[in-house]
Amino acid sequence: MNAIISASELADALAGPTPPVLLDVRWQLSAAKAAGAPPFDGRAEHAAGHLPGAVYVDLDRELAAAPGAGGRHPLPDVAEFGAAMRRAGVSSVRPVVVYDGGQGWAAARAWWLLRWTGHPNVRVLDGGLPSWAGPLSTDAPTPAEGDFEPVPGESGLLDADGAAALARSGVLFDARAGERYRGDVEPIDPVGGHIPGAVSAPTTENVAADGRFLAADELRARFETLGATEDGEVGVYCGSGVSGAHEVLALAVAGIPAALYAGSWSQWSSDPSRPVAVGPEPQ
């Protein structure tokens, strides 16, 4: 099953006999608050207009635990995540489509969590809300309680030690911007640089100017050039496990399975005992 769905395909699915549950996960990185700018309010954006029937899901509260030793966006408690998904109407037998404001990172985080915890049919709206040409709604949806019971997978998730090992034994992609990978700048976390052995693969290079993913064969060629294959072990990390999920999604579109280091650089860099590499090479 393809991991993404186009707006036209979604319109057809919504008119079909088993319409998908729609989750609106609009979110933006809150770095702007440090400059005094008001934080992005995804719930207000949802109230102002959303795909008809879509339920708002709060990334910071429902797709992540509180910041701490696990990083800036640690994985949520599995039971609490399951309860949030059931409140949103998610059931195991009904497909789910997730969208955000177009960047794709937040939607991918929801996609990854649902897939990792066992939902069999989850897709991301390619291009997000801007790709949707149909009407929007301001109604507050009241979905029937779902029955989804999350069961974490035995694979697909890396911890810090696993990420360090994979950087040497397989391929570990760093999905952040190149300047953060190199250590030229670090606007958020304690120190700049990357996990030794990790390969720079900014997730922004997986999409076209309109925010839609590149074609599967283009993505596959990109990742293969960087050393990944469908038969090898591949992992991804980013700043806090959000944009990294988008890269895992891009790899899925390309047909290459990958694991996510959810703690990512925010967890790695908070431990001064862990090594840090700088510069353009994996080292």
Active site residues: 238
By DSSP bridging, strand 171-174 and strand 259-261 are unpaired
Amino acid at 166: L
> Closest by alpha carbon to 58, among 35, 85, 95, 77?
85
DSSP three-state, residue 84: helix
- For residues 88 and 91, what is the distance between their CA atoms, to the nearest angstrom? 9
Tokens 């496990």, located at residue: 241
> Closest by alpha carbon to 95, among 30, 155, 20?
20
φ/ψ bin of 164: left (φ > 0), alpha (ψ from -120 to 50), beta (otherwise): alpha
> Closest by alpha carbon to 173, among 223, 112, 116?
223
> Closest by alpha carbon to 5, among 94, 90, 121, 117?
121
Per-residue burial over 32-53, b if 16 or more Cβ lie within 10 Å, else e, is eeeeeeeeeebeebbeeebbeb
- For residues 56 and 88, what is the distance between their CA atoms, to the nearest angstrom? 8
- Kindly give, in sequence order, each residue whose CB lies less than 8 Å from that of residue 209, ignoring residues fewer than 6 positions away: none
